[in-house]
Chain A
Amino acid sequence: QKEVEQNSGPLSVPEGAIASLNCTYSDRGSQSFFWYRQYSGKSPELIMFIYSNGDKEDGRFTAQLNKASQYVSLLIRDSQPSDSATYLCAVKASSASKIIFGSGTRLSIRP
């Protein structure tokens, strides 16, 4: 089992709709969770982090965390073509000062 798992996609969503990205993780002791956006050929940029169960909203983005189910998700409301990118889920390891990345979900917003 991978430490951080994501559906590789591509996930195709019409412009203006809600995009839902999911991630599961194996380390039960993990406390911090991140969503990075990566455009093709560029480096990742942090868009959300969450460390409490429940929802965290920032503009059009909402991160959801369920530690009991070891599940974290990212919702993007009113999807725009500029949201087309690969989204990387990342989890801070409980036993070391390092972050484990998933392989990413490729999101495509169609006009």
Chain B
Amino acid sequence: DGGITQSPKYLFRKEGQNVTLSCEQNLNHDAMYWYRQDPGQGLRLIYYSQIVNDFQKGDIAEGYSVSREKKESFPLTVTSAQKNPTAFYLCASSIPGVTYNEQFFGPGTRLTVL
């Protein structure tokens, strides 16, 4: 089955610790995205990548880093510089350049800072 997987489903982080969230897709999509969602809020774009070895900052990139070494994978690292990282993190992918550019989402990772 084609789709997007994210792991882990739940993640707990101590203050000052870096953590990495995994996102893998087998849809053969070129573009991948990371969003953050806070309770009762919409999705805010952290980073996105339209092609391997290239990525752009979204609206709230501070305190986060990404890499795109493979088409299938787009891991997100939440660094200690991110002061309020507790949130629901969603990864998505799409085919860039298509008029409608619909995005498909993974199941999400819920990160909690202890």
Q: Which of A43, A92, A103 contacts B42 (CB 8 A)?
A: A103
Question: Quick check: which of B14-22, B63-71, B105-113 contacts chain A, the rest being far away?
Answer: B105-113
In contact, B90 and A44 (Cβ under 8 angstroms): yes
Q: Classify the secondary structure of A's interface with B.
A: loop
Instruction: Give 1 or 0 for each of A24-60: 1 = CB within 8 Å of chain B CB.
Output: 0000000110100000001111100101000000000
Would you call B96 an interface residue if the criterion is a C-beta within 8 Å of the partner chain's C-beta atoms? yes
Chain B residue, CB-CB nearest to A6: B42
In contact, B102 and A49 (Cβ under 8 angstroms): yes
B interface residues with partner A (beta carbon < 8 Å): 31, 33, 35, 40-45, 48, 50, 56, 58, 90, 96-97, 99-108
What are the 6 A-B residue pairs with the smallest beta carbon separation, nearest first?
A103-B42, A43-B105, A101-B43, A101-B42, A32-B100, A43-B108
**Other 20 A-B pairs with CB < 8 A, given A43-B106, A97-B101, A101-B44:** A4-B42, A31-B99, A32-B99, A32-B101, A43-B90, A43-B105, A45-B105, A46-B102, A46-B103, A49-B102, A88-B43, A97-B50, A97-B96, A98-B33, A98-B45, A98-B48, A99-B101, A102-B42, A103-B40, A104-B41
